[in-house]
Structure 1
Amino acid sequence: MKNKAIIFDLDGTLIDSLKDIAISANLVLEEFNLPLHDISEYKNFVGGGASVLVNNCVPKNSNEDLKQKVLNRFKEVYDQEHHLNTQPYDGIYEVLEQLTKQNIKIGILSNKPHYFTCKYVEEFFSDYNFLEIHGQKENVPKKPNPMVALEIANSFNIKPENIFFVGDSDVDIKTAINSKMIPVGVKWGFRGPRELIENGAKYIVDTPKDILKLFEK
């Protein structure tokens, strides 16, 4: 097992954050007198980072100035509201505990802004040895660009083909493929298995504990 590692997506993979994202976004849309969206719609809005979320939320004919104002305000509101409903998925802690005990190198690569990514890891996962934690940063390509994933592999000193990349969206599967890593989709996330399979997931895990079985293959 020690010659393998695992990189996790965050939202929809380790944590169920959809409700807080939706609440925060709708509060901002209401401030700007823009149409609101049902929480279920946000499943298809997330995955590409905050700017993509905002672009999906606002009307199609919105100008760039409005989008930037909404984005800035969303970050402010989300910072205030982000923790109220968000929790790790059932079974995630047990998996992380086992991976830590077995000295398997673990990391996080998210398109959530880096500040929020680190804040969530500190809040929920400070007891686990995540060696690499990366959210979206300015002037750094987002997933599915493979650059940061490959930097993590280099830091782990493990070949990309021996690293499982685990996520809940097409963006994660494409990141894995672009990085020459093993693409793993989670059934419990925001998008569902069909999208993951269509985009090339090699494995679909039904529950968090099934992640551990990957290391037996």
Structure 2
Amino acid sequence: MAYSSVIFDMDGVLLNSLVDGEKWKYRAVDRALKEKDVEPENVSRDGKDAILGDKGYKACLKKSSKLGLDPREIWSLVAQETTNARGEELRKGNFELYPEAEKVVKNLHQKDIPLAVISNAPEAAVKMMIEYFELKQYFKFFAGVRNFEDLRDRKPHPNHLELAKAELKRDPFIYVGDSDSDLKAAENARMDSVWVKRGGEVQNGHTFEVEGLGEIVNRVVEDQSE
């Protein structure tokens, strides 16, 4: 079928930030922990993922409390440090748009299909990416995690996708993601989804899959029933 609005995930879909085992991200967490007098070596990678918010609101709350940290303060500090780290990686040229990402976005925009970006990254990081690559004019809406309380609504919760739907307005919608949380969020928001494979673990629950973004335009715009 054809779709009237397209919503993209950021990391692993538009932006190749999944480089070098995401060491840039964990270095940023380490800086935040040190600022709060916590030795990073004493916190496991799973623990750092929890503090990042990658495991959701409750996990962040629990791990922060175990470390004797105010969860709101440490998450906000980590969000700031990781966003700063993203900026540094962008300036160094270590982060790039995936091949065809800009072309696909421009192509869909030219076909008058409203576009959005919904990410589990801090919202400041999403804005940075869009502005750095001069893509802002093509997206009608974007959102990331805005604050600690907003972690409750991160994917796979559908709320951020529902916000995008309200802004884009044109049904049917489709969400383009690369992870299980993306596909579940789309299902929870009652929309179709595209799994961008990228060589990752096999995912289930998507409407169709693609190897790269270049395949999306025809799949989205043209009626596949013909």
TM-score over 0.5 (shorter chain) = yes
Provide the C-alpha distance between the structure 1 equivalents of 2:67 and 2:43, rounded to a whole number of angstroms. 19
TM-score (norm 2): 0.74
For residues 22 and 179 of structure 1, do their structure 2 counterparts lie closer, same or farther at Cα, with a shift above 3 Å needed? same
For residues 27 and 87 of structure 1, do their structure 2 counterparts lie closer, same or farther at Cα, with a shift above 3 Å needed? farther
For residues 145 and 165 of structure 1, do their structure 2 counterparts lie closer, same or farther at Cα, with a shift above 3 Å needed? same
Which of 34, 52, 76 does residue 40 from structure 2 map onto? Answer: 34
User: Who is 1:113 aligned against?
Assistant: 122
Provide the C-alpha distance between the structure 1 equivalents of 2:134 and 2:6, rounded to a whole number of angstroms. 15
| Number of residues of Structure 1 aligned to a counterpart in Structure 2 | 204
Provide the C-alpha distance between the structure 2 equivalents of 1:188 and 1:3, rounded to a whole number of angstroms. 23
Letter in 1 for 2:212: T
Provide the C-alpha distance between the structure 1 equivalents of 2:206 and 2:67, rounded to a whole number of angstroms. 36
Structure 1 moving runs of 4+ over 4 Å: 26-31, 53-56, 58-61, 66-70
5 Å-filtered alignment, 1:1-217, equals: 4-18=4-18, 19=22, 20-28=24-32, 32-35=38-41, 45=49, 50-52=52-54, 62-63=66-67, 65=69, 70-83=74-87, 84=89, 85-126=94-135, 128-138=137-147, 139-140=149-150, 141-159=153-171, 162-188=172-198, 192-194=200-202, 196-197=203-204, 200-215=205-220, 216=222, 217=224
The percentage of aligned residue pairs carrying the same residue is 22
Provide the C-alpha distance between the structure 2 equivalents of 1:37 and 1:213, rounded to a whole number of angstroms. 46
Structure 1: segments with no counterpart, 5+ residues: none
- Once the two structures are superposed, residues 52-88 of structure 1 have per-residue CA deviations (whole angstroms, 9 ceiling, x without a partner) of 36968x9899435176565344233323321212221
Structure 2: segments with no counterpart, 5+ residues: none
Letter in 1 for 2:154: K
Letter in 2 for 1:34: P
